[in-house]
Structure 1
Amino acid sequence: MSMYGRDPWGGPLEICHDSATDDDRSRNLDIDRGALSRTLDETQQSWLLAGPGDQGRRRKKYLDIGCLVVSRKFFVWTLGVLLAAAVFAGVVAGIAKAIPRRHRPPPPPDDYTVALHKALMFFNAQRSGKLPKHNNVPWRGNSCMKDGLSDPAVRRSLVGGYYDAGDAVKLNFPAAFSMTLLSWSVIEYSAKYEAVGELDHVRDIIKWGADYFLKTFNSTADSIDRVVVQVLLSRLRLFLSPGYPYEEMLRTFHNQTSIIMCSYLPIFKSFNRTKGGLIQLNHGKPRSLQYVVNAAFLASVFSDYLEAADTPGWYCGPHFYSIEVLRSFARTQIEYILGKNPLKMSYVVGFGKHYPKHVHHRGASIPKNGVHYGCKGGWKWRDTKKPNPNIIVGAMVAGPDRHDGFKDARKNSNYTEATLAGNAGLVAALVALSGEGHGVDKNTMFSAVPPMFPSPPPPPAPWKP
């Protein structure tokens, strides 16, 4: 049996099986200590001689930007790229702004808009009194500066207002109708007026007429008290009668309006028409155009009312007609007035190339040459065969006869006289038809109309268990 025990798995039971002697180990240990000392000295020397950046290369630095941890090098590179892109975009934008752009010219205004500008100028030519600097009618001057003051029965200033037609006469009823119709058109189509740059102009026209009405109004008259009392007593029905006391009256007027709109349609033959298509609302009598333009405006605004109420049309008896039928009627009548007629003549002075040259108008027919003409001198210019020396732009004359005929004669007012009421209807119809879109301004008149149904109850309080 050997002096060394045996491992049952086949190895010796020694802790360290090494055949080297103690002298060998001691000698090797001295050699290893010297080598280790030299290695440590070299390492320390390299640390001391190394620069501060050399140590950083051996370890990457990171940045914590909240939701992401990135290396500092990548962050700086990304930031630089973004700044360069922003500078490049700014340079490109600056160059793009510096390059002159070719803007497309706006589309030419439609015939209705062109005629609207001219039709409003007629009111400037009809002004009486001290004219403003921006009146823009060079042949018109101050007139009738002593109205009311020279009358012993009045002794108050009645300077201002409008002349009704071709003569120097001021009539309140036609003027009131004209200002009311213009005001109605502004209420419904103020956006269209503003779009064509005429909103301030038409407001100034209305104010000029309204200021004159205030001068002619007598607030001290005894009859005014009785009128006010009658109005207040009639309003008591609203408190004494429950429900809707005027509902039946409203239905009656609504039915009448529908019947009038139906009468404009050619299929019912309620009114005759000329061969050229002009409706004869005054049954063939002279001065037909002032009725035609009012009908064109009513047809346009009625169709716009229906459209505002999301109603595609209305009934004429058992038959249903779309609102486009009414608009077509209005357009054909106005186009007739503007030149689409058998004579190819525009009945609005200054519109188109062929229009009346001998308008029955005192101011337009007498030249402004520094000479004062009395009544006898005025007859001379009325009876001359020469065209008017002054063009009264925008004046719609009385119009053709029932056979589409027209006599451009100054002495025949049934053909060539323009009126305040006629031009008011023309302006209203033109603004209703002008522009690309249709419809009234829902934020003007209809914004003040209360809803026809009760407001919903407030929501219940939040439920809690």
Structure 2
Amino acid sequence: MARGGSIKTLASLCAVLMLFQLAAAGGSGGHGAGSSFDYKRALHSSLLYFEAQRSGHLPYNQRVRWRGHSGLADGLQQGVDLVGGYYDAGDNVKFGLPMAFTVTMLSWSAIEFGAEVAAAGEWRHVLEAIKWGTDYFVKAHTEPDVLWAEVGDGDTDHYCWQRPEDMTTSRQAYKVDRENPGSDLVGETAAAMAAASIVFRRSNPHYSHLLLHHAEQLFEFGDKYRGKYDSSVSEVWRYYASVSGYGDEMLWAALWLHRATGRAEYLDYAVAMADEFGGTSWAITEFSWDVKYAGLQILAAKLLLEGRHRPEHRPTLEQYSSKAEHYLCACLGKNGAAGNVNRTAGGMLYVRQWNNMQYVTNAAFLLTVYSRYLTASGGAAAAEPAVLQCPDGPVGAGELLALARAQADYVLGANPAGVSYMVGYGRRFPRRVHHRAASIVSHRADGRFVGCVQGYDHWFRRPGSNPNVVVGAIVGGPDHRDRFSDRRSNYMQTEACTYNTAPMVGVFAHLHSEGAQERK
């Protein structure tokens, strides 16, 4: 909700004073006044995190050595191979919707910032992170109109505290099909595979074609048999319910398929369904694994900025672009009375109490990528640089990137607590992350079986630091007053998720590249 101008001004002044005090004290996560953050190291750490979240048979080049093989019988009782993929957070369930969104965001990072990722020496690792997810999606899409949605059950999983290598909880698998549709899950998985097909187009054209084939089939399935996946798979409702419905995912998938194929039919779909599915009617101030509107609106705005559309598409693309601008202006606090994203006194964008960092990192990505789109659309031939038109005045690409940098720096330690909310980065970071594998001695160090309740008694309730550092994990983060409590039981703040870190791959790569150019 929007705040009064005087309150915003006072909060901003307080934030500035607080940050000056932190800098003077050298409290920014180990960075003193005048020093910059090591975005290259942050990028490296972020990609390590995905190796810590791997399920399945780990490869010979696995760098996170405290993890072992797990979930090797996934899908066996259903007669399908569902080994692999990612655990979403600090539990041992494989949830399809957040996993697919994670892969879409990793792929988008690679597409937009591939040169910067490669210059930082991390291109191979980002490809491996994406492929670990897409290999699983290929397995999970067993028939044109069947997609396996989840492996494991959240209720039984949360009853136990075990390493994934030891888990004795249910590995029941759940699917969506014609009779039990799930257009939101199917649409997001189609988007992930379409985006990933772009990433692999040059290095692995056969694999790229395979991914695109699955993406097209999934899109057709999701559109023909429409429905919310949490109505078909009730077990997911308490954990990853699709509150926004499936309209955003189907538009998101259409725009990614258009980008991957160049075929007009997918843009025609995004234009034809824009109003019915909310793409041009919903003005949203968050972007997440559930709510994709801001992301797809920015994809549509890119087409408008580049002039890559037919004349009859322009009015609808302008509506999409207007909604994209609403989101960006809301993050900047320049939406007038139309609604802005709240900020804490320390400057963090604040959406809600539970895992607020997901909204921070996704906002940082969209701000960064749109700043690039604006810069490219201005170009050397343009009379004037392109700007974002906000109700409170025009905004240039530099201001968008400055806010993205401020959010990235907050994550890394430029905050009132002086804590890096990326685990393993800086001197001060969360030591008691709500994460089963990290909080129990590794299977490699002690192969003795840890039982369901034993894990709670011996490890969860320990007051000390986790024995394993889940490097690169971005935890849920502080509350609306910039307060953070590093307790394993404080899952709203200390649990990390793959979709928190995924968007920062692109952001860190870009910020590192910007810094390298400034130093030349």
Both proteins in one fold, TM over 0.5: yes
Mapping 1:37-52, distance limit 5 Å = none
Asked if the contact 1:237–1:245 (Cα under 8 Å) also holds between the matched residues in 2, the reply is no
2:358 is the alignment partner of 1:290: yes
Describe the superposition over 1:161-196 as per-residue Cα deviations: whole angstroms up to 9, x where unpaired. Answer: 000100111011001001001101101111101101
| Superposed displacement of residue 302, structure 1 | 0.3
Paired residue secondary structure (1:309): helix
TM-score (norm 1): 0.65
Write the distance in 2 (CA, Å) between the matches of 1:271 and 1:300: 17
Mapping 1:46-195, distance limit 5 Å = 111-149=38-76, 151=77, 154-195=78-119
| Superposed displacement of residue 256, structure 1 | 1.0
Paired residue secondary structure (2:61): helix
Asked if the contact 2:48–2:471 (Cα under 8 Å) also holds between the matched residues in 1, the reply is yes
In structure 2, what residue type is equivalent to 1:113? K
| Superposed displacement of residue 236, structure 1 | 11
| Superposed displacement of residue 261, structure 1 | 1.3
Structure 1 pair 280–195 and aligned structure 2 pair: CA distance change class (3 A): same
2:362 is the alignment partner of 1:362: no
* Corresponding position of 1:205: 129
| Superposed displacement of residue 327, structure 1 | 1.1
Structure 1 pair 110–384 and aligned structure 2 pair: CA distance change class (3 A): closer
Q: 1:399 aligns with which of 461, 464, 477?
A: 477
Write the distance in 2 (CA, Å) between the matches of 1:350 and 1:206: 22
Write the distance in 1 (CA, Å) between the matches of 2:410 and 2:266: 45
Asked if the contact 2:326–2:335 (Cα under 8 Å) also holds between the matched residues in 1, the reply is no
| Superposed displacement of residue 124, structure 1 | 0.2
| Superposed displacement of residue 319, structure 1 | 2.4
Structure 1 pair 109–127 and aligned structure 2 pair: CA distance change class (3 A): farther
* Corresponding position of 2:156: none
Write the distance in 2 (CA, Å) between the matches of 1:353 and 1:335: 15
Asked if the contact 2:335–2:390 (Cα under 8 Å) also holds between the matched residues in 1, the reply is no
Structure 1 pair 424–376 and aligned structure 2 pair: CA distance change class (3 A): same
Tell me which of the two structures has the higher relative contact order, counting C-alpha pairs closer than 8 angstroms and 6 or more residues apart.
2
Q: Cα RMSD between the aligned structures?
A: 2.8
Write the distance in 2 (CA, Å) between the matches of 1:398 and 1:138: 25
Describe the superposition over 1:285-309 as per-residue Cα deviations: whole angstroms up to 9, x where unpaired. Answer: 2211110010011001101111111
* Corresponding position of 1:300: 368
2:397 is the alignment partner of 1:332: no
| Superposed displacement of residue 243, structure 1 | 6.1
Structure 1 pair 203–326 and aligned structure 2 pair: CA distance change class (3 A): same
2:449 is the alignment partner of 1:372: yes
Write the distance in 2 (CA, Å) between the matches of 1:273 and 1:133: 44
Structure 1 pair 190–397 and aligned structure 2 pair: CA distance change class (3 A): same
Structure 2, unpaired ranges of 5+: 1-34, 146-176, 179-216, 226-253, 255-262, 273-308, 379-384
| Superposed displacement of residue 140, structure 1 | 0.4
Describe the superposition over 1:251-307 as per-residue Cα deviations: whole angstroms up to 9, x where unpaired. Answer: 11111111211111235471221111111133xx22111100100110011011111
Write the distance in 1 (CA, Å) between the matches of 2:343 and 2:478: 12
2:181 is the alignment partner of 1:257: no
- Please say which structure displays the higher CA radius of gyration: 1
Write the distance in 2 (CA, Å) between the matches of 1:325 and 1:162: 35
Asked if the contact 1:183–1:206 (Cα under 8 Å) also holds between the matched residues in 2, the reply is yes
* Corresponding position of 2:415: 341
Structure 1, unpaired ranges of 5+: 1-107, 440-465
Paired residue secondary structure (2:320): helix
TM-score (norm 2): 0.59
Write the distance in 2 (CA, Å) between the matches of 1:415 and 1:227: 34
Structure 1 pair 253–401 and aligned structure 2 pair: CA distance change class (3 A): same
Count of matched residue pairs: 325
